[in-house]
Structure 1
C-alpha cells in the first residue's frame, strides 16, 4: 500500500517542469484545499472553532485562508509578468489579458451567486428572489479586482516602490476608516466606528450597491466582507506576495531564503498584534493589522514548505496539493456548484447533504465529527474529479 502511494505521488511530481518551485504549488494547493474544507461542513451549526471565522474582531485559522490565496495571486502575477515579458509580450497586451481575466473572475463569482433555486418553496421566483437581489461583491469578484490592480502596479511602477504601495494603501485605508465622517438615513453622524453594520466600509457599500445586494443586512448599514473600501488593503496583501516572489527569485541561498521568510513572517505577526491595539485584527474590514498577520503567517508557512520540500527533500506528501492547486479556480467553481446541488436538489423531502449528514454521519460520529467527516468526504469526491482533470492535462485558466 505504501509503495503504491509512493509511486502515485512520484508519477504526479515527475510531470512537473524541472524549474518549478514546488513550495509555491504546494502552498497554493494547501490554501484552496483548506478553503473548500471550511466552506462545506455537514452542518453550519456543528463546526469546530478553528474551522469558523471570528465573529468580528480577532481571528481563527480559517480567517487566514482567503488572504493566503490573495498572497499567492501576488506571487503568480510576478512570475506570469516575467514570463510574458521574456517572450516579448508588450505591456498593453498584458493589460488587455489581465482585464479579460478580471472580468471572467467577476462573472464566475456572479454565476455562483445566481446558481440557486429553492425547489421546496412553490412561491420561489428566481428572477425576483435571486437575480434582482443578487449579492454583487464576493470572493472571486474581489480576486479579480485585486489581481488587476496589482498587475497594473507591477507593470507600471518600479520594483523598489512595491513596499511603498503596500504600506501606502494600508495607511490610506486606515485614515479613511478612522477619520472620514458619514451619516445614516436619519442624519445621525458617525466617525471612526468599527462595529458590525456601522463603519465607513459598510456605509460606502450600502450607498453604492444597495442593502439587498450585500452579504449581511445589518443596521444601520448593510455590509459585505468583500466590499469596495476594504479592497484597498487586500491589494496590499497581494503586493506582499509579489514582494515575496521577488525575494524567492533572488540570488540568496536556500537557507537564507528560509530564514528571511520565517523571520520576516514572525516580525509581521508581532507587529500585527501591536497594531491591533489601534486597529483590531478584523477579516470583514481587512484591517492593516489583519494584512500584517495574514502575510506573516503566509511567509512562515511558505518558509516551512521550502524547509521540508527543498531543504530536506520531503516531496511526496505534496502530490495531492499539487493536483488541487493546479486547477484552483476550477476546484473552487466545482465545489461551489456541487455544494449547492447537494443542498438544493430534493430527494423526496430531503437533500443529498441532509441525507448524508443527518442520516449517516451524524448518527454514527456525532454532530461535530459527522460535520467534519462530511467536509472530508466532499474533499475526497472533489479530488477524484480534479485528479481526473490533472491526468487528462485539462487546466482551466481564466
Structure 2
C-alpha cells in the first residue's frame, strides 16, 4: 500500500518546477482543503465545535482558515511579482485589476447560483437577484489582492510595514471613535457588538440590509466580509508579503524557520494578551485577529518548511498540492456542487438532506455521519481535481 502511495505521490511532485516552494503549495492545499471540509457538513445541526466559527468574540481553528488563505495570497503575490519585475507597474496593475474583477464576478456567480425547486412560490428575481449579497469570500480576496498589489508596487519594506500598521490603526480609529446612529436617532460609538459597530452601520447604510450575510442582525445588518473590515484584511495580506520577503532573504533555511517560529509565537502571545482589551473577532477582522491569524500562519509555514525542506518528508504533501494547484477551481466546484445537492429534490427534502438522513446518519451517527459526509465530499472533489492536475488544467483568473 505504501509503495503504491509513494509512486503516486512522486508522480504528482515530479511535475513541480525545481525552484517551486513546496511548503507554500502544501500550506495552500491544506488551507483550501480545510475550508471545503468545514463548509460542507452533512448537517449544520451536528458539527463538532472545532469545525464551527466562534459565535462572536474569541476563535476556533475554523476561524483561522480564511485569514490563512489571505496571508498565502500575500506570499504568492510577492513571489510572483518578483518574476514580473520587467513588466512595468502599469501592466502589473492592469493584470491585477482584471484578476480582481474576475474573482469578484465569480463570487457574485456563486451568490446567484441557487433556485428553490421545492417551493412553487419561490421567486428567483425577488428572493435572490434583488437581494444579492454583494460581498463574500472571493470578493474579499479580489479587493484585498488588488490593493495589496498597489502597496507592494509603490512601497518598499518600510512602507509596507507602515501600511500594515496604518490600515489597522485607521480601522481601529473608526471602530472606536467614529459616531453613528440608527433609524430611531440613537447615537453609538466604540461598540464591537453583533449588529452594532461602526463596521455594521457602514455595511447597513452602503450595501443595504438585503444585500449582506447577517440580514436579521439588529440594529444594523452587516457582512462578515464587509467594507470596513477589508482594511485589516489587507494588513493580513501584507503580513504574507513580508513573510515571503523574509523567505527571499540571504539567511539559511534553518534561520528562516526559526525566525518564522519566533514571530509566530510572539504574535500569538501578543494577540491573546490584546484580546483582553481588543477582542479577537473574525467577523470584525479586528487587528488582534490579524496578529493571531498571521502568527499561526507563520508557525504553520515553518512546520511545512521543516517537513518538506529540512527533513525531506514530502510525500504527505502530494494530495494537498493537487488541491492547492487549483484552489479557485476547487472552491468554485465545491460551491456549485453543494448548491446542486441542495436544489435537487428527493421527496420532501433535498438530495443533500436525503443522503445524510438515509446513508450517513444511520451508518455513522449524528456527528460522525455529518463529518463522514464532509470527508466524502472532499474525496469526490479530489478525484476531479486530480484529473485536472494530471492533464495540466489549472484554472487561473
Q: TM-score range by the shorter chain?
A: over 0.9
Following superposition, the deviation at residue 159 of structure 1 comes to: 2.4
Equivalent residue number for residue 386 of structure 1: 385
Match of 2:195 in 1: 197
Could you say which residue in structure 2 is the equivalent of 1:366?
365
Aligned residue for 1:267? 266
- Correspondence for 2:296: 297
Shift of 1:161: 1.6
Cα distance in 2 between the residues matched to 1:350 and 1:168: 50
Counterpart in the other structure of 1:242:
241
Aligned to 2:131: 133
Q: TM-score, normalising length from structure 1?
A: 0.99
Q: Take 2:30 and 2:301, find their aligned partners in 1: how far apart are those partners?
A: 11
Deviation at 1:275, TM superposition (A): 1.2
Structure 2: stretches of 5+ with no match in the other structure? none
Query: Deviations 1:15-35 (Å, cap 9, x if unpaired)?
Result: 110000100000000000000
C-alpha deviation, 1:350, in angstroms: 3.2
* Aligned match of 2:308: 309
2:360, 2:320 → 1: CA distance? 26
Residue in 2 that maps onto 1:19? 19
Find the counterpart in structure 2 of residue 55 from structure 1. Answer: 55
> Residues of 2 paired with 1:355 and 1:391: CA distance?
33
**2:72 paired residue number:** 72
1:128 Cα deviation from its structure 2 partner: 1.0
> Following TM superposition, by how much is the alpha carbon of 1:352 offset from its aligned partner in structure 2, in angstroms?
2.1
The C-alpha deviation readout for 1:265-303, integer Å capped at 9, x for no partner, is 000001101111221000000000000000000000000
Question: How far 1:334 sits from its partner (Å)?
Answer: 0.3
- CA deviations 1:293-347 (Å, max 9, x no partner) are 0000000000000111111000000000000000000000000000000111113
Partner of 1:212: 210
Instruction: Look up the SS of the partner of 1:336 in the other structure.
Output: helix
In the alignment, which residue of structure 2 is the partner of 1:184?
Answer: 182
Q: Deviations over 1:209-245 (max 9, x none)?
A: 1100010121100011000000000000000000000
- Write out per-residue CA displacement over residues 80-118 of structure 1, whole angstroms, 9 at most, x where no aligned residue: 111111xx2111011001001110010000000000000
| In 1: Cα distance, 2:19 partner to 2:362 partner | 49
- Deviations for 1:184-217, whole angstroms, at most 9, x for unmatched residues? 0000000001110000000000100110001012
Further displaced range: 350-359 or 240-249? 350-359
Moved more, 159-168 or 67-76: 159-168
1:30 and 2:30 aligned: yes
Deviation of 1:12 after TM superposition, in Å, equals 0.5
Question: What is the alpha-carbon distance in structure 1 between the residues aligned to residue 375 and residue 332 of structure 2?
Answer: 17
Shift of 1:163: 1.2
Query: For residues 75-86 of structure 1, what are the structure 2 equivalents within 5 Å?
Result: 75-85=75-85
Taking structure 2 as the reference length, the TM-score comes to 0.99
Give the secondary-structure state (helix, strand or coil) at the position aligned to 1:222.
coil
Q: Does 1:395 align with 2:394?
A: yes
- Computed over aligned residues only, the root mean square deviation of the Cα atoms, in angstroms, reads 0.7
User: Where does 1:96-115 land on structure 2 (aligned, <5 Å)?
Assistant: 96-115=94-113
Q: Distance in 2 between matches of 1:303 and 1:80?
A: 20
SS at match of 2:196: coil
Equivalent of 1:148, from 146, 167, 182? 146
- 1:331 equivalent to 2:330? Answer yes
SS at match of 1:223: coil
Equivalent residue, structure 2, for 1:43: 43
Q: Is 2:9 the partner of 1:2? A: no
**Partner SS for 2:249:** coil
Q: What's the offset of the Cα at 1:349? A: 3.1
Q: State how far apart, in whole Å, the 2-side matches of 1:75 and 1:188 are.
A: 44
- The Cα shift of 1:364 comes to 1.2
CA distance in structure 1 between the partners assigned to 2:175 and 2:256 by the alignment: 35
**Displacement of 1:53:** 0.1
SS in 2 for 1:178: helix
Residue 119 (str. 1) matches residue 117 (str. 2): yes
Distance in 1 (CA, whole Å) between partners of 2:101 and 2:28 is 22
SS at match of 2:120: coil
Q: What displacement does 1:353 show? A: 1.3
